[in-house]
Amino acid sequence: MKNPAVLLLEDGSRFDGFGFGYEGEATGESCFNTALTGYQEIITDPSYAGQIVTMTAPMIGNYGANSADMESAAPKLRGFVVREYSRQPENWRAEFPLEKFLLKHKIPGIEGVDTRRLTRHIRDNGAMRGIISSLDFDKKSLLAKARAAPQMTGLDLAGKVTAKKAYVYSAKQKYQVVAYDFGCKQSILRLLTAAGCGVTVVPAATPAEETLALKPDGIFLSNGPGDPAAVTYAIENTRKLIASGAPVFGICLGHQIIALALGAQTFKLKYGHRGGNQPVLDLTTGKVEITAQNHGFAVDPGSLKALPVDITHLNLNDQTVEGLAHKTKPVFCVQYHPEASPGPHDAGYLFQRFVKYMEKAGKK
């Protein structure tokens, strides 16, 4: 028997459905993802911390979940919204149903929602706070809880999802990389290793001096949740790392932090870019990449004009900045997720570019 549940947004919009996963309540910023597959990777991506994620694909859960496709040790999102939840997964890789996974980690889900109406509402009105509940159905009470949730603007969430202490992910290979964990996905670490890098992961607030004392060949700045401008300690550390002359590569939040460290500004997108089908133009080659994205903030192109950087990539949907490269230092970054491989390998060259930066720096 299905139990009723409700999603209420801070503007009073109500979406009724049925609960699955954990029975309870959760508040967060309500957003949507247009990917057709990869729901487990989305649920375990630390960049979704503080958010209630709606999947636009009509059926979710049909291939179950497994221990191999985790992007972090546990889900970081607050709630999960789907049109139809499939209770009987059919896939040889499935180890357990999605609902069992959500229940274990106390993540409330809601199914039976008109996700097309919800997505259009967010697109028209912007991402906003909301609440999922299978316990409380009083609009006044729910509205107060939703509006009491923190705003994403000004919120530092990287410090909440980062590793508690440094650890070695992969043994030293030809190049040694220090990766700042702002909410780093496991697939990024795997591809750095596959590119010939030994990787040491450090917490988000690790001082630049400690990182440089490790004498890395390169420094990587990871993806992560929240407002990049609020991660002030990372911006200051990155400014020092760039000044050192070491090769630096950033993805997503790492891209935004690099831009802020160089003196640029960021702004909040109306509803963000989340999905596996975002077209990006590489201005250095003229090629278009199909990319995976997950971000609610972007770099202000007007703030880049007087800075020593080139815009290397543009989003073809809205012309937002998707990539930067320093004019004189071995520093580059992208807003999208090359490790997610929706193309499937359109953006894989970026990890090799990082290796070439380190190789060139080592010959000086």
pLDDT band of residue 340 (cuts 50, 70, 90) is: confident
Is 337 assigned a catalytic role? yes
Cα distances (Å, whole numbers) of residue 235 to 48, 90, 123, 227: 21, 45, 30, 12
pLDDT tens column, 13-53: 999 999 999 999 999 999 999 999 999 999 999 999 999 99
Is 252 among the catalytic positions? Answer: yes
**88 burial class (0-12, 13-18, 19+ CB within 10 angstroms)?**
exposed
Helix segments in 98-229, DSSP class H: 98-104, 115-125, 139-148, 158-161, 186-194, 208-213
What proportion of the chain, given as a percentage, has pLDDT over 90?
Answer: 92
| 197 has catalytic annotation | no
pLDDT for res 53: 98
Which residue matches tokens 């450090």? Answer: 202
Mean of pLDDT values over 58-87: 94
3-state DSSP: the chain helix, strand, coil percent, rounded to 5?
25, 35, 40
Residue pLDDT, tens place only, 106-126: 999 999 999 999 999 999 999
Q: Residue 104 contacts by C-beta under 8 Å, 6 or more apart in sequence?
A: none
pLDDT digits (tens, 9 = 90+) for 179-229: 999 999 999 999 999 999 999 999 999 999 999 999 999 999 999 999 999
Whole-number pLDDT of residue 173: 84
What is residue 228's predicted lDDT score, i.e. its pLDDT?
98
Average pLDDT, the chain: 95
Q: Is the pLDDT of residue 364 over 60?
A: no
Segments of the chain assigned E as strands: 3-9, 14-21, 25-33, 51-55, 59-60, 79-81, 84-85, 108-111, 128-133, 167-170, 175-181, 197-203, 218-221, 248-251, 266-282, 288-299, 309-315, 321-326, 331-334
Q: Domains plus CATH for the chain?
A: 3-148 (3.50.30.20), 158-362 (3.40.50.880)
Q: What is the pTM of this model?
A: 0.96
Q: Which of 31, 184, 197, 252 is the catalytic position?
A: 252
Catalytic residue, chosen from 121, 255, 313, 337, is: 337
Distance CA 230, CA 183 (A): 15
